[in-house]
Structure 1
Amino acid sequence: MDKIYDVIVLGAGPAGLAAGLYAGRSRLSTLIIEKGKDGGQIAITDEIENYPGQMVEGESGPSLIARMTEQAKKFGAERANDTILSVELEGDVKVLKSAKNEYRAKAVIVATGAFPKPIGCENEAKFIGKGISFCATCDAAFFEDFEVFVVGGGDSAVEEAMYLTKFARKVTIIHRRDELRAAKSIQEKAFANPKLHFLWDTVVQSVDGDELLSKMVVKNVKTGELTTIEADPEDGLFGVFGFIGYNPNSKLFDGILEMENGYIKTDDNMHTNIPGVFAAGDIRVKSLRQVVTAAADGAIAAMQAEKFINE
C-alpha cells in the first residue's frame, strides 16, 4: 500500500473508534485496523447503564459500538480488517505489516486493549455475558438482590467483591488457596463485611444452565471433592465474576514500547516513548478501565497526533 496516512489506529474498541472519530473530524486521513469484530470487551456486554448521556433504554455493548463505528465512518475514517504481525515505529513514517499488506502513517495510535484471564472452567465461553462477567462496575447492578460468586484472591478480586456487596444479597469469594493474596488492609475490610463469604481451596470446575447461568460445579483442590451449586429457584440464575488478572494485547510491541506488566506506559496525553506513537484505552497503564475512560483516551490521543503531525 503506497498511501501514507496521517494516522493509523490499531484496534476498534471504544478507544480506537473514538480516536478514529476525532482524527477524521480533524480532517486527518485515518485508517482503523481491526483483526476481529469492533468493540473489544464491551461487545460481549448485554446491557450498559453507566455510559454518560446514554439515552437508549436497554443499551447493549454491540448497539453502542455500532453507533461509534458509524460515527467514525461518517467523519471519513477508513477501515481495514487485518492482523498486524510486525511494526517499525521509529522515524517519520511508521510501518505496520501484515501477512499480505504494508500500512504506513505519520502517527500511530495503539488501542489494542486487554482481555480478562479466563476462569478456566468448562462451558465458560457459553455463559460470558449471560451470568459470567469480568467487570463489577459494568454489571453489578444487574445482579441486585441475587447471589454472586467472585473468583480470585488478589486486591482486585477482593475489592470488586466488596463493591458487589452493595448490590447482591450474598457474595462468595472462591479462591484456590487457603488465604487471600490481597493487602492486609483490604482483607480486614473484607472479613468485616457480613455479606461476604469464602470458599477456600476451591476452583470452578464447570458452569451450566439453560439460557442463563444457574448451575456450577466447584472442586476442592486439596481433597478433590466436587460440589454442585445451583441458583435459588426463585432467582433462576446467579452471577460469577472472574478477577484473576488481565492479558494486555501488547505482545506486538515487546522491546519497542516501554511497558509495565505488559501495559504500555504513557503520559497524561497518551504519548509513548516513541514520538508519533500513542496508546489509548485498556492497553495502557491506568487506574480505571471503562468505556468512558477508553473513549476519552482515544480523543486525547487523536488530538495529540494532530498536534504532532502539524509541528
Structure 2
Amino acid sequence: MTTISNSTSAFYDRSAMDIADLRARAEAMQADLSRGQRIARSSDDPVGASRLRQLQRADATSTIDVANAAKASTNLQLTDTALASFADYVTHIQELTTQAANGTMTDAARASLGAEIGQIRDNMIQLANSRDAQGGALFGGQSAGDAYAVTAGVAGYVGTGSAGDLPLGDGQNVTRGLTGPEFLAFPAGGASPDLLAALKTLSDGLQAGGTAAQQAARDGLAALDQGMDQITTAQTVVGTRLAWVELTTERRTNLTEMRANEESDVGGTDIASTVARLQETMTVLEASQASFTKLASLSLFSLLN
C-alpha cells in the first residue's frame, strides 16, 4: 500500500509541476508580448541586460544634449535676428551720413540728421541689451544684467568676456552667442573704441555745426563701413554655429534611431516567434491538462470492468 500511495502522490506532484511550468512559460510569453520586451530581469539575459543599460544611459545623456542644442539654437537665432537689425540700423545711418557729407547741406539740416542718428544709436544700445531665451543678457556673455551701461552718454560694456559654451554630446561644444565687443568693437588703432562710440562722435559732430560737421560726416562714413564689416563677419560666425548645431542634431537623431533599433534587437520581443511559441505552449498545456484529468480518473476497478 505504501508503494501505491507514494506512486500516486508522485504522479500528482509531477503532473502539477509540469502544468505549473507550462502555465508559467505561457504567462511569461504573454507578459513579453504585453510590454514588448523579452528581458524583465538581468537574469533573463545578463549580457543583453547589460547592453540595454548602456543604451539607456546613452539615451538619457542624449536627452540632455538635445536640450542644450535647442537652447543654443534659440539663442543663436535670436543673435542672428538682432545682428540683422544692427545691420539695418547701420545701413540707414550710412544713408543719413551720406546726406550730411554733402557740401550744400545747411548746419540746421545736418543737426537734424545728427539728432536722428543719436536716436538710432539709443535704439541700438537697447538692442545690445536684449535678453536671451533664459532671460540673461544676449550680448553680455554670461552676465545676468545688461551688456551695456550708459554713463554721461557713453555706452560701456559691462558683461563678461565670453558667451560660454554648451555641450552637444560626444565631446562637441558650441558657443551659444556673441558678446557685444565681438561685433561692435573696432580693431586696435581705430579712432573710436567701438561702433556705439563712433555713432556718438558722429551725432555730436553733426549737431555742433560749422565746417567740422561735414568732416565729421566723412569720418563717420569710414567708421560705419568698418562697423558694417564687423557685423557682417559676426553674422557669418553665427550662421556657421547654427549650421554646426543642425549637423550635430542630425547626427544625434541618427544615433538615437540606431540605439532604438539595437534596443529592439537586444531586448525587444519577436512578436511572430513569441506568438507561435505561446500557441504551441497553450496547446501542450491543454493537452497536458486533458491527459492528467483522464489519467487521474482511472483506477484498478475501471480496468477490471
Rg: which structure is higher? Answer: 2
Q: Which of the two has greater strand per residue? A: 1
TM-score when normalising by structure 1: 0.26
TM-score when normalising by structure 2: 0.27
